[in-house]
């Protein structure tokens, strides 16, 4: 327990001083604000490019839900990259730079080391994800006042689902970092695993709710259903397993 | 106490330790020397529990260091050759992290931090970020960390390498004071004068094995060549050489034109007897100097440098 508490404090300080939180805040809020603006001005751009044709005639609609869907897409495609690249050094750096040696000698337990990281970044990323979605909801509501087809509750639930996805990414960064001891490789493997995960629901559509990617599908629809709860539980079980494997790996590896 | 029995360690296909045996007695300061690549750092890393080994046994205070076990962490203190820290923290904060790992209260942590920072001479830099520390300051902070949990065994890998002469003197004083408290210290260093100043016993590692181990004085007596260098006005004749040979403390004499090189036991103690013998020489002596036993010679001889 001492190791956990000690490293919870250490990770809290590090998240601020290493500017990781600023990067998350800026990236998440940037897309939260920019995506609604893009959807707002896109019809005008399309009209000017297509000789005043009505964008709605080919399926494009400038509404709050399209703004939030765009934000959800950016969450998965772009902000996953931000998260993976920002957190890729969580364990890899500590092992490569040997900063783990002295604390280990004094008595640091690897379980406290890993669990503190997953908890701190789960809390921070979840908070920022929820704030991002709320900002996007409010701003797109202002930009598209007559088209509110998304409820605040559903937006909040979608943000929670995305939070689970980012917790999963964090656990992947931690695991790949502890195996590869290389920041960049850990980041790349995390992204490859996350994006490749989109294939499984396509290959096994009957079982799609049992894969982590279903969280993204469900969140992006802004109508989460009961099946998304199954996907959340499976994902959180996977996160716990990834943490156990990471702890086991670090206990056995040479520093 | 530290015991190593038949220790083997390989990196890929290169065997670094080839059946190392050594023993560090409780409460002593043990100097561990050897040329670069001999396996000193590897040995200390294994004892500290941060490196695995292929075969053999290691014990620290009767606790066996087993591959993959974590039970012995916290028993010894370890200062690696280049200690690494969280550079965004201050020295005080880093020590506080150690205090938290040990489950200390805030008050205990503050007290222990202040005490250690004073001991290693970093009290004025306690609020400075570690990224602004010099190499010597990092070494001192590393020493503070290695002592934090009051271990009974201390493993130090090149503790003085980045320190200036004043810092090295401080380090020597700290180690001697720890010895008085009953701490067993094993240190590896290339600064042989530090070994001569503070170590009780010495081990010389060569080619992955212990080439020589024993009490410092015994090693210097048996392997170094203390004695005298005497410059004469002319080359010594046989009669003069016989005078020297009869002295009981003389081991060996070699002549190089007008220079006499005498190997002798305890040359400082016997200098008056030598002067007395020189006064009977037919050839006058121009100068006499004592050649002190030093580990340099032992190192070159035994470590195959």
Domain ranges of chain B: 2-221, 224-302
Yes or no: say if A35 and A74 are a contact pair by the CB < 8 Å rule. yes
Of A59, A82, A70, nearest in space to A36 by CA: A70
Of B285, B232, B227, nearest in space to B256 by CA: B232
The CATH code of the domain at B224-302 is 3.30.70
Distances (CA, A) of A97 to A182, B34, B53: 10, 26, 22
B11 touches chain A (CB under 8 A): no
Q: What is the value of pTM for the model shown?
A: 0.84
Each residue of A149-195: pLDDT tens digit? 788 999 999 999 999 999 999 999 999 999 999 999 999 999 999 99
- Local structure of residue A210 (DSSP, 8 states): G
A16 touches chain B (CB under 8 A): no
Q: Are A17 and B74 a contacting pair at CB < 8 A?
A: no
- The Cα–Cα gap between A131 and A124 comes to 11
- The Cα–Cα gap between B219 and B30 comes to 13
Q: Are A102 and B84 a contacting pair at CB < 8 A?
A: yes
Q: Are B70 and A251 a contacting pair at CB < 8 A?
A: yes
Local confidence band at B1 (pLDDT 50, 70, 90 cut-offs): confident
**Topology at the third CATH level for domain B2-221:** Rossmann fold (3.40.50)
Q: Are A105 and B73 a contacting pair at CB < 8 A?
A: yes
B86 touches chain A (CB under 8 A): yes
Dihedral pair phi/psi, residue B55, rounded to 5°:
-160, 160
Dihedral pair phi/psi, residue B60, rounded to 5°:
-125, 120
Q: What percentage of chain A exceeds 70 in pLDDT? A: 94
With a cut of 60, say whether residue A255 has pLDDT above it.
Answer: no
- The Cα–Cα gap between A105 and A108 comes to 7
Which chain A residue is nearest to residue B45, measuring alpha carbons? A255
Distance from CA of A203 to the nearest CA of B (A): 40
Task: Report chain A's mean pLDDT, rounded to a whole number.
Answer: 89
Local confidence band at B164 (pLDDT 50, 70, 90 cut-offs): confident
């Amino acid at each position: 327990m001492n190791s956990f508490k000690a490293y919870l404090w250490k990770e809290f300080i590090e998240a601020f001083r290493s500017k990781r939180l600023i990067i998350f805040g800026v990236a998440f809020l940037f897309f939260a604000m920019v995506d609604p603006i893009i959807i707002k001005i896109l019809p005008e751009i399309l009209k000017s490019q297509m000789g005043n044709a009505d964008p709605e005639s080919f399926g494009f609609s400038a509404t709050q839900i399209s703004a939030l869907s765009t934000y959800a897409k950016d969450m998965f495609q772009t902000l996953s990259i931000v998260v993976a690249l920002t957190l890729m050094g969580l364990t890899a750096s500590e092992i490569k730079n040997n900063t783990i040696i002295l604390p280990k000698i004094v008595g640091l337990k690897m379980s406290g080391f890993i669990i503190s990281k997953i908890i701190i970044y789960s809390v921070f990323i979840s908070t920022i994800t929820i704030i991002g979605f709320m900002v996007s909801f409010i701003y797109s509501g202002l930009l598209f006042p007559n088209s509110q087809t998304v409820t605040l509750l559903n937006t909040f639930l979608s943000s929670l689902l995305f939070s689970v996805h980012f917790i999963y990414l964090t656990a992947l960064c931690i695991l790949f970092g502890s195996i590869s001891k290389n920041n960049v490789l850990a980041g790349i493997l995390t992204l490859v695993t996350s994006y490749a995960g989109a294939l499984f629901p396509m290959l096994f559509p009957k079982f799609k709710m049992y894969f982590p990617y279903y969280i993204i599908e469900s969140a992006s629809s802004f109508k989460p259903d009961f099946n998304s709860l199954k996907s959340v539980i499976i994902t959180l079980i996977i996160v716990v397993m990834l943490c156990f494997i990471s702890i086991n790996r670090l206990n056995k590896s040479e520093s | 106490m530290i015991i190593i029995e038949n220790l083997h360690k390989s990196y890929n296909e290169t065997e670094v330790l080839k059946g190392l045996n050594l023993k560090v007695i409780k409460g002593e300061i043990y100097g561990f020397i050897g040329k670069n690549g001999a396996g000193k750092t590897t040995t200390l890393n294994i004892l500290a529990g941060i490196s695995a080994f292929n075969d053999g046994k290691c014990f620290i205070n009767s606790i066996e260091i087993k591959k993959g076990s974590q039970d012995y962490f916290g028993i010894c203190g370890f200062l690696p050759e280049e200690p690494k820290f969280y550079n965004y923290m201050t020295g005080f904060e880093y020590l506080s992290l150690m205090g938290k790992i040990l489950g200390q209260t805030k008050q205990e942590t503050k007290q222990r931090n202040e005490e250690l920072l004073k001991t290693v001479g970093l009290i004025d830099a306690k609020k400075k970020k570690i990224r602004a520390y010099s190499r010597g300051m990092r070494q001192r902070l590393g020493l503070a960390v290695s002592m934090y949990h009051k271990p009974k065994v201390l493993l130090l890998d090149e503790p003085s390498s980045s320190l200036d002469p004043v810092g090295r003197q401080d380090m020597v004083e700290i180690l001697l004071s720890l010895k008085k408290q009953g701490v067993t210290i094993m240190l590896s260093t290339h600064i042989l004068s530090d070994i001569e100043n503070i170590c009780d016993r010495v081990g010389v590692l060569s080619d992955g094995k212990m080439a020589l181990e024993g009490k410092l004085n015994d090693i210097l007596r048996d392997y170094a060549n203390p004695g005298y260098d005497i410059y004469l006005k002319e080359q010594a004749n046989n009669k003069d050489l016989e005078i020297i040979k009869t002295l009981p403390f003389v081991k060996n004499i070699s002549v190089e034109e007008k220079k006499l090189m005498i190997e002798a036991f305890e040359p400082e103690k016997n200098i008056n007897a030598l002067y007395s013998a020189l006064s009977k020489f037919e050839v006058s002596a121009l100068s006499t100097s004592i050649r002190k036993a030093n580990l340099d010679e032992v190192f070159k001889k035994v470590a195959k440098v």
